[in-house]
């Protein structure tokens, strides 16, 4: 049998933590194959701690880089510096990074500098616009150039990588690990831990779940979004808007003056992940500028207005599970109004199949690594989206 291998997973933000947690759990189901090391850069502090608690995980190493009003340069410099020394000491056989955060880019560069093989989970997402989303589009391209194994979530992501001359033999289509995480949480009985959510009457209100935090939307785009959703709540007296407000002060300084004080707008701090997923499942619709939530809501039959100018997940548009509204007042208002008034459109979107995953992505990743390192003889089957 092949020698046991040391796999280091590196993440630092809440979305990375959510999507990497099921991968870590699956790796740890095979201690004869893998020694699994979890590294947190601490790019997000409180929000990442919530994820660790939700999945019963703890970091083996925490770089604790987060500082108030940190810049992208601050994150990159501190993460890269901390990872440099850690990789020199641990010398893993493989580094796994996820997605497109500054931690992702730093982890990829650190692995490259130490000549350690890199696996990139959620590889191949693209808008082909340098500053949208910002800085994610460039972060994921950096990881894509360096990665030795490309874990693409969908066939479309594979196509993107091949168009960039990535060796097809290094690409493996897995499905989205975020779907794994959401389905696992939804399978468990749940009582909301946030008291305000326990007071919501879901039978009386059409609950609209909102998130908004993207850097490229800060300023006037975000003001447009917030004005539009407030006017939608005014227009439809049965609508209750629940917004888990990002901790970024630049977001909060825009959100509170526009949205606070309305009797049917509930402004909350970021929610524990189980609360967020069960809230999404109980909601009538979602309005977000998120990446990951648009992968989760199709599994719940919850239509979604994506308040962005672009999406790196065109599969959602093709499957009919999102409306891409843009970030103008008129676009956001019109998309929200359509889902609140057009029952046929709503039902069509709610019945659409999830193109992103089936809950087995983490198993596929770990089985691929077992094949890659010689623990099993056969390469596992790839994810094929349902039609």
Residues involved in catalysis: 100, 122, 136, 213, 215, 246
Burial of 370 per CB tally in 10 Å (0-12, 13-18, 19+): buried
Kindly list the distances between the CA atom of residue 69 and the CA atoms of 44, 77, 104, 105, in Å, as whole numbers in the listed order. 11, 15, 20, 20
CB 370 within 8 A of CB 30: yes
Q: How many helices (H) and strands (E) does the chain have?
A: 16, 13
CB 303 within 8 A of CB 285: yes
Q: Where does 164-289 show beta strands of DSSP type E?
A: 171-173, 206-211, 239-244, 265-268, 285-288
Distance CA 171, CA 5 (A): 21
Distance CA 127, CA 310 (A): 7
Among 6, 82, 7, residue whose Cα is nearest residue 40: 82
Long-range pairs of 200-204 with CB within 8 A, sequence gap ≥ 24: 200/240, 200/242, 200/266, 202/282, 204/238
Distance CA 223, CA 182 (A): 30
Tokens of 256: 């509170």
Q: Where are the alpha helices (DSSP H) in 40-198?
A: 46-55, 72-90, 102-113, 136-146, 155-163, 177-186, 195-198
Among 48, 22, 41, residue whose Cα is nearest residue 151: 22
């Amino acid at each position: 049998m092949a020698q046991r291998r040391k796999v280091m997973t590196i993440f630092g933000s809440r979305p990375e933590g959510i999507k990497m947690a099921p991968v870590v759990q699956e790796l740890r189901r095979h201690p004869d194959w893998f020694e699994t090391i979890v590294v947190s850069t601490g790019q997000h502090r409180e929000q990442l701690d919530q994820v660790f608690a939700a999945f019963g995980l703890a970091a083996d190493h925490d770089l604790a880089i987060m500082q108030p009003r940190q810049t992208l340069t601050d994150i990159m410099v501190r993460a890269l510096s901390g990872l440099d020394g850690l990789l020199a000491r641990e010398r893993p056989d493989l580094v796994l990074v996820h997605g497109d955060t500054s931690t992702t880019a730093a982890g990829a560069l650190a692995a490259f500098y130490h000549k350690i093989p890199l696996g990139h989970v959620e590889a191949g997402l693209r808008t082909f616009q340098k500053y949208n989303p910002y800085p994610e589009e460039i972060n994921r391209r950096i990881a894509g150039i360096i990665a030795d194994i490309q874990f693409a979530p969908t066939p479309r992501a594979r196509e993107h990588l091949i168009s960039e001359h990535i060796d097809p033999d290094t690409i493996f289509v897995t499905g989205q690990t975020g779907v794994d995480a959401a389905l696992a949480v939804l399978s468990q009985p749940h009582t909301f831990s946030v008291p305000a959510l326990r007071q919501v009457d879901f039978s009386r209100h059409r609950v609209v779940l909102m998130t908004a935090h993207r850097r490229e939307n800060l300023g006037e785009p975000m003001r447009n979004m917030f004005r539009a959703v407030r006017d939608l709540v005014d227009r439809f007296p049965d609508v209750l808007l629940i917004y888990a407000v990002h901790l970024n002060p630049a977001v909060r300084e825009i959100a509170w003056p526009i949205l606070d004080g309305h009797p049917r707008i509930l402004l909350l701090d970021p929610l524990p992940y189980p609360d967020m997923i069960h809230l999404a499942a109980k909601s009538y619709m979602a309005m977000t500028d998120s990446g990951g939530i648009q992968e989760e809501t199709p599994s719940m039959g919850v239509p979604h207005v994506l308040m962005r100018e672009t999406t790196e997940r065109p599969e959602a548009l093709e499957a009919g599970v999102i409306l891409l509204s843009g970030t103008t007042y008129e676009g956001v208002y019109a998309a929200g109004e359509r889902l609140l008034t057009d029952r046929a459109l709503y039902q069509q979107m709610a019945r659409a199949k999830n193109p992103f995953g089936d809950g087995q992505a983490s198993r596929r990743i770990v089985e691929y690594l077992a094949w890659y390192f010689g623990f099993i003889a056969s390469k596992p089957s790839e994810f094929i989206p349902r039609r």
